[in-house]
């Protein structure tokens, strides 16, 4: 199994690690049983622009790198743009992931959406195309992944 140079770069020097106090939205997905948990903090202004984003991740090299890349891709973007983030776009931005690590990129997408959901809840607004995050992303799955529990 070999990681791309971009994955190694984002793993070695992850961007946007940390917390945001009183964040506009916080989302945590994954579970420790499966070995990966990602938490995203968003700071969103009145115009709906994500001014700042931070993350914390418990997980493997791919989980850290996809978290870092996902935060880079949505930073400074309007929430409508952030909603378009998919696991595929995160993977492409990292020049790909080994097949067994694809589920890590799903985690990044879901964490961003969970944070946006939290923001919408706090603001009492409805964001089109955004659904309530699953209790455990590993239990529900789509994204043409072969999964057995995790």
Partner 1 sequence: MKCDVKDTDAVKQMPKTIYLDNAATTILKPEVLDAMMPYLTEKYGNPSSIHSFGAGCSAVCESARKTIAGLINAKDNEIYFTSGGSESDNWAIKSVAYMKKDKGKHIITSAVEHHAVLETCEFLQRDGFEISFVGVDDKGIIKIDELKAAIRPDTILISVIYANNEIGTIQPIKEIGEIARSKGILFHTDAVQAFGHVPIDVEKENIDMMSASAHKIHGPKGIGMLYMKNNVKLTPMIHGGPHERKRRAGTSNVPGIVGFGKAAELSSISMAKNNAKITEKRNYLIDRILSEIPYSRLNGDRDRRLPGNANISFRYIEGESMLMMVDMKGIAASTGSACASGSLDPSHVLLAIGLPHEIAHGSLRMTLSEFTTKEELDYTVEALKEVVSKLRAMSPLYEDAMKKKEE
Report, as residue numbers or ranges, the catalytic residues: 34, 104
Both tokens assigned to 54: 């931070």
- Asked if 11 is part of the footprint of partner 1 (rule: CB under 8 A), the reply reads yes
Q: Which of 4, 43, 49, 56 binds partner 1 (CB under 8 A)?
A: 56
Spatial neighbors of 22 by CB under 8 A, at least 6 apart, are none
Tell me if 89 sits within 8 A of 112, measured CB to CB: no
- Asked if 34 is part of the footprint of partner 1 (rule: CB under 8 A), the reply reads yes
Number of residues binding to partner 1, judged by CB under 8 A: 32
- Asked if 36 is part of the footprint of partner 1 (rule: CB under 8 A), the reply reads yes
In the bound complex, what is the minimum distance in angstroms from residue 22's beta carbon to partner 1?
15
Spatial neighbors of 104 by CB under 8 A, at least 6 apart, are 36, 59, 60, 62, 63, 66, 97
Per-residue x/- mask for partner 1, residues 83 to 122, rule CB under 8 A? -----------------xx-x-------------------
d(C-alpha 33, C-alpha 12), whole Å: 24
Q: Which of 20, 24, 44, 59 binds partner 1 (CB under 8 A)?
A: 59
């Amino acid at each position: 199994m070999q990681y791309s140079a971009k994955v190694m770069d984002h793993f070695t020097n992850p961007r946007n690690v940390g917390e945001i106090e009183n964040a506009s939205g916080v989302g945590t997905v994954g579970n420790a049983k499966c070995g990966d948990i990602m938490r995203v903090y968003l700071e969103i202004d009145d115009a709906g622009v994500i001014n700042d984003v931070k993350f914390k991740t418990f997980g493997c090299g791919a989980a850290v790198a996809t978290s870092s890349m996902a935060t880079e891709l949505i930073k400074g973007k309007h929430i409508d743009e952030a909603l378009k983030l998919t696991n595929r776009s995160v993977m492409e931005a990292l020049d790909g992931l080994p097949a067994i690590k694809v589920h890590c990129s799903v985690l990044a997408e879901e964490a961003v959406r969970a944070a946006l959901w939290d923001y919408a809840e706090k603001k009492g607004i409805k964001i089109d195309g955004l659904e309530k995050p699953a209790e455990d992303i590993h239990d529900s799955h789509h994204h043409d992944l072969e999964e057995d529990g995790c």
